[in-house]
Amino acid sequence: MALREVLQFPDPRLKQVSEPVSEVTDEIRELARDMCDVMYDEPGIGLAAPQLGESIRLIVVDTEWTEDEEAERDPLVLVNPEIVAREGTLTWSEGCLSVPDYTADIERAARVSLRAHDLDGKPVEIEADEIQAVCFQHEIDHLDGVLFIDHISRLKRSLYVQKRKRALRDEAEASAL
C-alpha cells in the first residue's frame, strides 16, 4: 500500500484544532499504523494525525529508533494526549515534516508530564525530558493547529513564508512544462 502524503505548509488543514477521539476503532488503529509507516519512512521521530489530513487527537512518537534496518521500532501511539505539567526550559533545534527545508531553535519546557490513552483505551502517564519532551510538545502543538514556526519571530517566519511561496511557485511552473 502506498504511504499517505504529509501535508505541508501552507495547507490550511494544518491550522485546524483537532477533535478528541471518542472511541478507538479499527479505523483509528489503521491510521496509527499508517502514521508510523510514514514517520519511519520520512524519517522522523514523531507525527500527528493532522499532518496526514486527519483532524483528530492522535500522535505517534519514537525518539529511540535509528535508521538502522535492524533497529527495533517501538513507537508510542497516544490517543488524546495532553500535557499536564511542564518544568524548566531548554532550546532545541527543531524541524518538521510539514515545514520543509527549515529548522529553528525553539524554546520548550525541559520536562513534561503527559496523560493519554493507548490503542487499547488504557490510560497512559509519561514523564519525559529532553528530546522526548520536545517531541511531545511539538506533536501536541499540531493537534492545536500550531506549527513550530509559530514559535519563531515574526521576521524569521515572514522570511520562511516568502521562501516557501517561491518554492511552491517554482514547483508549479516546472510541473506546467
Lowest mean pLDDT among 67-76, 137-146, 168-177: 67-76
Which CATH architecture group holds 12-176?
Answer: Alpha-Beta Complex (3.90)
Confidence band for 70, pLDDT divided at 50, 70 and 90: low
What is the CB neighbour count within 10 angstroms for residue 121? 10
Stretch 11-17: mean pLDDT: 97
139 is catalytic: yes
- pLDDT of 121 strictly over 90: yes
Q: Which three cell numbers stand for residue 33?
A: 499504523
* pLDDT value at residue 68: 61
Q: Which of 5, 139, 171, 173 is catalytic?
A: 139
Strand partners, 46: 61
